[in-house]
Amino acid sequence: MEPYQWTIHEARERLDKGEISSVELTRHVLARIDAVEPKVQAFNTVTAARALADAEAADRMIAGGNAQPLTGIPIALKDNMITEGVETTCSSKILSGYVPPFDGTISARMKAAGAVLVGKTNLDEFAMGSSTENSATKTTRNPWDPERAPGGSSGGSAAAVAADMCLGSFGSDTGGSIRQPGALCGVVGFKPTYGRVSRFGLVAFASSLDQIGPFTRDVHDAAILLAASAGSDPLDSTCSDRPVDDYVAGLSAGVKGRTIGVPKEYFIEGTDPAVAAAVQDGIRQLEAQGATVREISLPHTQYATACYYLVATAEASSNLGRYDGVRYGLREEPGDLLSMYMATREAGFGTEVKRRIMLGTYALSAGYYDAYYKKAQQVRTLILRDFETAFDAGVDLVVTPTAPTGAFKIGEKSGDPLQMYLSDIFTISCNLAGLPGISVPCGFDGNHMPIGLQLIGKRFDESTLLAAAHAYQQGTDFHTRRPQL
């Protein structure tokens, strides 16, 4: 096995034993990026010089006996996370050339932990999409088949881990953008509870739904990245003050004695039979590890996609009002101030972003607000109550497929927004309810593309969720399979 293929916990052991330095490990990872990035196109920016400087600093921390779990570990950040001195584009023309003068909390915490930043990864423009095809910078390829999409919106972060171009990465998940690309690229994708990880410096898409979380090769690594990123932040008032559990120690709890609910609304027509079969196998595996499985009902599931596309677009239309040519990136100057706003937004935003701004503005406008936005908020409450009812009845975790199909062909859905929106049908409810969810590899479809199994937990009960997902990986080896590049 090459060093760039190691898990984070494996690399930690070797770094601590002095078998390899962070500079050496980082050189291996940068060489891997040079070798496969031309095929995968996962990065908007590769920060090679910064990575080597970070690695040197990390080696000094290790030599001084000050290593933390991530010290010296090469990671990547989605390019909607603010990084001081490193261009942050959101894969949008409107932010082109924007170099932030400050760090967001995720970037600052990774720096403080001694992690090595190798680059910023591609995404659907402003995280709006499910395939990364809405990027204005490049088309990221699925490492398992370059004709296929990596999923989205955090497709670059997922593909970078799957193609061994970093040991772990962070993405953001508003409606499934960590779990769905995790599933389609065959890696672990983990969205923590809303408010578990600070959003300060995460460029806002839909503020009541956005959440940062990790992509990793296994659940153990996801626990490590969550522990290093979670916890209260005075710079984000929606970030919770609850103490951060010891997620790594909690992994050994397993899934024995847990009750897992299988919602009947998630095993529906339109799901690839190979996906349904792999998830059923996964459920049997959880049972074999000691879980009790029972069928449950989440009756408002059918409204989740419609509800999400009102709430998310409404919030986006407001959040994206700040891109006007005055403060960041692109500026078109055809004449007076109003023409500048209009020409900048016309030239700077892509089609999908404009569609969302228009949808959201419509849903919020006088006369339509009650019928659309307010109604969607009421439906959101019903969706949350569905989960609460199941949890109150003794269910600890909910298990579902992550996405209805494996990776689809590039171009297959990009002309049909509704088809694309349906890719998120199984991931969206979790965001609307604010719950933590994880996708783990659980098989392959007829095209040899990875399939993901989703587990959803109670609010702030990441420990139970991670322990169950870890138990699943103790009995399966799907997470150890790698694409041939």
Known catalytic residues? 78, 153, 177
424 touching ligand GLN, by CB under 6 A: yes
The interface region with ligand GLN, picked from 172-180, 243-251, 297-305, 391-399 by CB under 6 A, is 172-180
399 touching ligand GLN, by CB under 6 A: no
- Least distance (Å) from ligand GLN to the CB of residue 263? 20
CB 154 within 8 A of CB 127: yes
Chain centroid, CA 350 distance in Å: 21
Task: Give the whole-angstrom CA distance, residue 472 versus residue 423.
Answer: 24
Cβ proximity to ligand GLN: between 146 and 417 the closer is: 417
- Least distance (Å) from ligand GLN to the CB of residue 307? 12
**Residues 47 to 86 in contact with ligand GLN, rule: CB under 6 A:** none
Task: Give the whole-angstrom CA distance, residue 183 versus residue 440.
Answer: 7
From candidates 164, 173, 233, 396, binder to ligand GLN by CB under 6 A: 173
CB 162 within 8 A of CB 407: no
Nearest CA among 59, 46, 81, 55 for reference residue 171: 81
Report the sign of the C-alpha dihedral through residues 218, 420, 130, 5, in that order.
Answer: positive
Task: Give the whole-angstrom CA distance, residue 458 versus residue 466.
Answer: 12
Q: Give me 434's structure tokens.
A: 């604010």
Cβ proximity to ligand GLN: between 74 and 213 the closer is: 213
133 touching ligand GLN, by CB under 6 A: no
Coil/strand/helix, residue 410: coil
Task: Give the whole-angstrom CA distance, residue 305 versus residue 422.
Answer: 7
From candidates 153, 157, 344, 473, binder to ligand GLN by CB under 6 A: 153
The interface region with ligand GLN, picked from 107-115, 121-129, 214-222, 388-396 by CB under 6 A, is 121-129
Cβ proximity to ligand GLN: between 129 and 443 the closer is: 129
DSSP string, 73-85: -EEEEETTB-BTT
- Least distance (Å) from ligand GLN to the CB of residue 127? 4
Chain centroid, CA 46 distance in Å: 19
From candidates 174, 240, 439, 476, binder to ligand GLN by CB under 6 A: 174
- Count the site residues for ligand GLN by CB under 6 A: 13
From candidates 74, 150, 155, 175, binder to ligand GLN by CB under 6 A: 175
Cβ proximity to ligand GLN: between 26 and 80 the closer is: 80
Exposure b/e, 49-63, CB count within 10 A at least 16 = b: ebbbebbebbbebbe
CB 65 within 8 A of CB 58: no
- Least distance (Å) from ligand GLN to the CB of residue 312? 5
Instruction: Tell me which residues touch ligand GLN (CB under 6 A).
Output: 127-130, 153, 173-177, 205, 312, 424
